[in-house]
């Protein structure tokens, strides 16, 4: 099954592990990936991530390392930094965070003392674990206060950020930092308005653009710069790089504090192979075709949202401006849950994640919604026609599931076969490059 020398080597050395990777590769090839935070990295990104750079310790930063032999690592990290700065139009970039959560942890450590108050959107409305969830470091060592969405069906901004609530929470609690940027928010974020409010109370504005980084890089979502004091992101979602994090700022003092907080504050040795892969991904994102890709990402999300609406599903906030949408399944049938929908669709080869909708009465392991996104399907070449077809499949499977196991089994098998056939016509970048199993 393997087409690459690397996989042949792994198969010879460890057939058990190689077989599991081959199975996962086949799963990715033959299913439709609608998880909004996932994507398919390019063969070049994966080549860098699988390179000899994994062998090296390079604690410190370019030119100031705690280990010898870092000459090429300095050049690699500097190149990745320079490309990140060019891509996002900022002055300083730290490419070492292992993840978005660790990027946020370093920024918190650099900008606040334990016990300090910060304001963010509550997790259940589309926020993130590292934005103050009580079991996370952010909610354990700091004091989160939360702003809300508009909850008023008659309001034109229903289920969108309520900037009056942001202002009221900030005026009341005088937070050290104000966070914006979310995991399940389908609308444009007004970074200028957030900065205005942050300035009114003397807070730092931190924008976590993990989800929309690719759109921002391509100019398809307004940039958090120059409004945010600090910007954090992951590199593997819409940005389509390796799994990892990134921190950016225009402020020299903040940059110094962030660098210290990340290393040695939060992390030890950087993952140099991943830093190189980030550099490759930033280089790809600087090319003109990345803008076309991101434009198609938005068109595809909007096509999927429109088609689902046509099938009787309610899309929260009435649609999407970006790469994702939240589908309120109860708009179709009050008994539908995100948990069931996720499981039923997976049987048909359509991969999603259950997600709470704003003000969801159901718990997080059940939910009334699905979060769907278009970055991965757009990477494999799907356009509006394919997204419309996917909406019809989703409705076919969920409608059958509501009728019972017999109907569901039949519909899931039929859709699974059709999904396989469609996927075979749109091979993943890595399959085309014959770079993995
Ligand atoms: N877990 C990520 C997501 O799926 O959005 C956020 O970190």
- Per-10-residue mean pLDDT of the chain, 437 residues long, equals 75 97 97 98 97 98 98 98 98 98 98 98 87 94 96 89 97 98 97 98 98 98 98 98 98 98 98 98 98 98 98 96 97 96 98 94 96 98 98 98 98 98 94 52
Decide whether any atom of ligand 1 lies within 6 Å of the 245 Cβ: no
Question: Pairing mode, if any, of strands 143-147 and 117-121?
Answer: parallel
- Of the listed 57, 167, 299, 383, which one is catalytic? 57
Q: Taking the domains of the chain in order of start, what are their residue ranges?
A: 52-285, 292-432
Distance 128 CA to ligand 1 centre (A): 7
Contacts of 402 (CB under 8 A, 6+ apart): 333, 335, 336
Active-site annotation holder among 234, 249, 316, 377: 234
Is 432 a residue of the active site? no
* pLDDT for position 437: 42
- Does ligand 1 have an atom closer than 6 angstroms to the CB of 294? no
In ligand 1, the atom with minimum distance to the C-alpha of 130 is 7
How far, in Å, from the CA of 308 to the mean position of ligand 1?
Answer: 23
Is 178 within 8 Å of 166 (Cβ atoms)? Answer: yes
For residue 5, how far is its CA from the centre of ligand 1 (angstroms)? 33
Instruction: State how far the Cα of 278 lies from the Cα of 77, in Å rounded to an integer.
Output: 9
pLDDT of residue 4: 78
Q: Where are the beta strands (DSSP E) in 22-138?
A: 32-33, 60-61, 64-65, 92-94, 117-121
153 is annotated as an active-site residue:
no
DSSP state of 231: E
- The residue nearest atom 1 of ligand 1, judged by CA position, is 37
418: phi then psi, degrees, rounded to nearest 5: -70, -35
Here the tokens at position 255 are 């940059």
Query: How much distance in Å is there from the Cα of 401 to the middle of ligand 1?
Result: 27
| Ligand 1 centroid from CA 329, angstroms | 21
28 lines ligand 1 (CB under 6 A): no
| Beta carbons of 85 and 91 less than 8 angstroms apart | yes
| Separation of alpha carbons 47 and 57, rounded Å | 19
Measure CA 95 to chain center: 17
Give catalytic status of residue 59 as yes or no. Answer: yes
**Residue found by looking up tokens 């962030």 in the block:** 258
Six-digit token pair at 111?
């900008």
Retrieve residue 243's tokens.
Answer: 């799994």
* Closest C-alpha to ligand 1, atom 5: 183
How many angstroms does the Cα of residue 247 sit away from the middle of ligand 1?
A: 17
pLDDT confidence of residue 436 = 46
* Distance between Cα 244 and ligand 1 center (Å): 12
> Does residue 208 have an active-site annotation?
yes
What is the position in ligand 1's atom list of the atom closest to the CA of 234? 7
Environment class of 52 (CB within 10 Å of its CB; exposed 0-12, middle 13-18, buried 19+): exposed
Q: Identify the residue whose C-alpha is closest to ligand 1 atom 4.
A: 37
Nearest CA-CA partner of 394 in 333, 342, 429: 342
8 Å CB contact between 105 and 257:
no
- What is the Å distance from ligand 1's center to 278 Cα? 18
280 contacts 205 by C-beta, under 8 angstroms: no
**Is residue 243 annotated as part of the catalytic site, yes or no?**
yes
From the options 1.10.260.30, 3.30.930.10, 3.40.640.10, 1.20.120.430, give the CATH code of 52-285. 3.40.640.10
CATH class of 292-432: alpha beta
In the set 33, 77, 159, 208, the catalytic residue is 208
Mention every residue, 6+ apart, whose C-beta is less than 8 A from residue 62.
73, 74, 75, 77, 78, 81
One of 6, 38, 59, 384 is an active-site residue; which one? 59
Cβ of 100 below 6 Å from ligand 1: yes
- Provide the whole-model pTM: 0.96
> Which ligand 1 atom sits closest to the C-alpha of 38?
4
Ligand 1 pocket member 37 (CB < 6 A): yes
**What pLDDT shows up at residue 432?**
55
> DSSP for 263-328?
IIII-SS--HHHHHHHHHHHHHHTSHHHHHHHHHHHHHHHHHHHHHHHTTPEEGGGS-SSSEEEEE
- Report which DSSP code applies to 220: S
> Which atom of ligand 1 lies closest to the CA of 353?
4
66 is annotated as an active-site residue: no
């Amino acid at each position: 099954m393997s087409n690459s020398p690397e996989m042949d080597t792994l198969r010879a050395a460890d057939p058990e592990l190689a077989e599991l990777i081959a199975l996962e590769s086949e799963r990715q090839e033959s299913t439709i990936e609608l998880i909004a935070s996932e994507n398919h990295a390019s063969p070049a990104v994966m080549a860098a991530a699988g390179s000899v750079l994994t062998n090296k310790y390079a604690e410190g930063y370019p030119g100031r390392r705690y280990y010898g032999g870092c000459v090429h690592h300095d050049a690699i990290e500097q190149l990745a930094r320079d490309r990140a700065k060019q891509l996002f139009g900022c002055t300083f970039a730290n490419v070492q965070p292992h993840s978005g959560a660790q990027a946020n942890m370093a920024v918190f450590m650099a900008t606040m003392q334990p016990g300090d108050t910060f304001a963010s959107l509550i997790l259940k409305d589309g926020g993130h674990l590292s934005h103050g969830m009580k079991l996370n470091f952010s909610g354990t060592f700091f004091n989160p206060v939360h702003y809300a969405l508009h909850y008023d069906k008659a309001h034109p901004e229903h289920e969108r950020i309520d900037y009056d609530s942001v202002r009221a929470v900030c005026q009341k609690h005088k937070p050290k930092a104000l966070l914006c940027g979310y995991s399940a928010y389908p609308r444009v974020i007004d970074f200028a308005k957030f900065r205005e409010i942050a300035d009114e109370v003397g807070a730092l504005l931190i924008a976590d653009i993990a989800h929309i980084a690719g759109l921002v890089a391509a100019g398809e979502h307004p940039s958090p710069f120059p409004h945010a004091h600090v910007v954090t992101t992951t590199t593997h979602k819409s940005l389509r790089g390796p799994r990892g994090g990134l921190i950016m700022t225009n402020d020299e003092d903040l940059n110094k504090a962030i660098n210290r907080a990340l290393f040695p504050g939060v992390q030890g040795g950087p993952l140099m192979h991943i830093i190189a892969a980030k550099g490759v991904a930033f280089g790809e994102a600087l090319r003109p075709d990345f803008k076309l890709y991101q434009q198609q990402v938005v068109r595809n999300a909007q096509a999927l949202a429109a088609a689902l609406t046509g099938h009787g599903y309610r899309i929260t906030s009435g649609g999407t401006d970006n790469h994702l949408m939240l589908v309120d399944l109860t708009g179709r049938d009050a008994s539908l849950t995100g948990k069931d929908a996720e499981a039923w669709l997976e049987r048909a080869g359509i991969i999603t994640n259950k997600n709470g909708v704003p003000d969801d009465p159901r718990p997080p392991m059940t939910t009334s919604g699905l979060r769907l996104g278009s970055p991965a399907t757009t990477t494999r070449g799907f356009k509006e026609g394919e997204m419309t077809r996917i909406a019809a499949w989703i409705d076919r499977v969920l409608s059958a599931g509501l009728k019972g196991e017999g109907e569901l089994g039949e519909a899931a098998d039929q859709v699974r076969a059709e999904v396989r056939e469609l996927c075979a016509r749109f091979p993943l970048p890595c399959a085309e490059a014959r770079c993995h199993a």
